[in-house]
Amino acid sequence: MFYIANEDDIRNGRVTDVYFERASQILTARGLTKHVAMEIRTKVLPANWEWAVFSGLEEIMELLKGRPVDVRAVPEGTIFSPYDPVMEIQGNYADFGAYETEILGLMCQASGIATRSARVKLAAGFKPVFSFGARRMHPAIAPMIERSAYIGGCDGVSVGLDAEKIGIKPSGTMPHALILLVGDTVRAAVYFDEVIDRSVPRLILIDTFNDEKFEAICVAEALRDRLYGVRLDTPGSRRGNMVQIVKETKWELGLRGHGDVKVMVSGGLDEDKVGELQKFVDLFGIGTYISNSPVVDFAMDIVEIEHKPSAKRGKESGRKTLLRCKGCGGRTVLAYPGDITVCAACGGTLEDIMRPVMTQGQVIADLPSASRIRDTVLNEIKEYSVKEKR
């Protein structure tokens, strides 16, 4: 058997902490069917992040569909910071309280991955970044991982099924195994060129047997203008100065009339290494760093009981909303409904970005495609990078 929960297990709330089930059992037995508003936010982000990318809403809508709850949320792809509310669920506690484990699980990991992906895209100076890290994670959640990576800004994902669910074509080069089995890099490149559909870019791995520079030249001369790029996945034990290896490879290719051949680097990259290589590399393949992103520690708390403010110690009671300035992008948290319309920082117009997305189990908001969400994220982080440079 595979140790996974199937879709029915998730929909029926079977993947939940037992104490929620017991709480519901007690409340039902004692007739305490109280109406609550519960708020989701995080007090702190991992790895000193100042902001994160909200992801996971579409799956939460799938989970709550048909249940007697009302939900307000920020759209997927929204940039948020600690203490910003991202979602509010209202209804009788007994009707949805036991889903807390699943609701949080659907957003904490997805948001972490989308954030790492956005950070890598920023570090790459918006050059193409591909998610190659599915192999480090349980295959059952690979589609969620790669959707989140794509939403955060990755340009492509490597697993066929994952790409299909996003609505894009999978991206990949060639494994070392192919080159080892063929026995020669140039011959493997020629076979790839002969066998694989013309629509797939010829991106050849050049670190299997010999020096990157010499393999790159041989491959470029064999494939000529059909060669799209070369990929350096140089092992850590041979890596030395990667910037220099890339510069030298490009120099030698350029000298021989192959200056338009792209250079992709992959293998153990993180956002710092991507930042160092950014000026010299055309494409990046990122594995574990994105797929194994730290999670965002969202918590779900009661803020109102029977329409009266009520919250535990350490938590502001009452329903809240999140406003975003159309001018400076700054965010303000206000008691719901937020009645301030002018940004204190720049005088710009504030808009409420925590909007109704579900009424009594019916999805009432537009749930945009992954590529539309990705466009939003890229626009927002571009603004962010401009601000950083000021």
By C-beta, is 255 or 346 nearer to Zn ion?
346
Task: Among 124, 142, 343, 381, indicate the residue that binds Zn ion (CB under 5 A).
Answer: 343
Tell me: does residue 348 bind Zn ion (CB under 5 A). yes
3-state secondary structure of 160: helix
Tell me: does residue 346 bind Zn ion (CB under 5 A). yes
Task: Among 325, 354, 373, 381, indicate the residue that binds Zn ion (CB under 5 A).
Answer: 325
Site for Zn ion in 7-46 (CB under 5 A): none
Of 273-281, 299-307, 328-336, 366-374, the window that binds Zn ion (rule: CB under 5 A) is 328-336
Of 9-17, 196-204, 283-291, 324-332, the window that binds Zn ion (rule: CB under 5 A) is 324-332
Site for Zn ion in 51-90 (CB under 5 A): none
Task: Among 46, 318, 327, 361, indicate the residue that binds Zn ion (CB under 5 A).
Answer: 327
* Least distance in angstroms from the C-beta of 52 to Zn ion: 20
* Least distance in angstroms from the C-beta of 330 to Zn ion: 5
By C-beta, is 79 or 188 nearer to Zn ion?
79
Task: Among 22, 345, 360, 362, indicate the residue that binds Zn ion (CB under 5 A).
Answer: 345
Site for Zn ion in 355-384 (CB under 5 A): none
Tell me: does residue 328 bind Zn ion (CB under 5 A). yes
In 3-state terms, the chain is what percent helix, strand and coil (to 5)?
A: 40, 20, 40
Please say whether the dihedral angle defined by the alpha carbons of residues 250, 251, 254 and 259, taken in this order, is positive or negative. Answer: positive
Residue pair 258/239 in contact by the 8 Å Cβ criterion: no
Of 25-33, 80-88, 299-307, 342-350, the window that binds Zn ion (rule: CB under 5 A) is 342-350
Sequence-ordered strand ranges (E) for the chain: 35-41, 52-53, 70-73, 79-80, 87-92, 129-131, 156-157, 202-205, 227-232, 262-266, 283-286, 299-305, 308-309, 320-325, 331-335, 350-352, 355-359, 362-363
Tell me: does residue 330 bind Zn ion (CB under 5 A). yes
Pick from 35, 20, 39, 23: nearest CA to 317: 39
Of 59-67, 168-176, 214-222, 322-330, the window that binds Zn ion (rule: CB under 5 A) is 322-330
* Residues paired with residue 40 on neighbouring β-strands, in sequence order: 87, 300
For every residue of 301-319, which 3-state class applies, written as one string? EEEEECCEECCCCCCCCCC
Tell me: does residue 353 bind Zn ion (CB under 5 A). no
Q: How many residues bind Zn ion (CB under 5 A)?
A: 8
- 29 exposure class (CB count in 10 Å sphere: 0-12, 13-18, 19+): exposed
Q: Which long-range contacts (CB under 8 A, 24 or more apart) does 1-6 make?
A: 2/140, 4/138, 4/140
Question: Following CA atoms 300, 305, 309, 314 in sequence, which dihedral angle do they give, to the nearest 10 degrees?
Answer: -40
By C-beta, is 44 or 346 nearer to Zn ion?
346
* Least distance in angstroms from the C-beta of 381 to Zn ion: 18
By C-beta, is 73 or 325 nearer to Zn ion?
325
Contacts with Zn ion by CB under 5 A lie at 325, 327-328, 330, 343, 345-346, 348
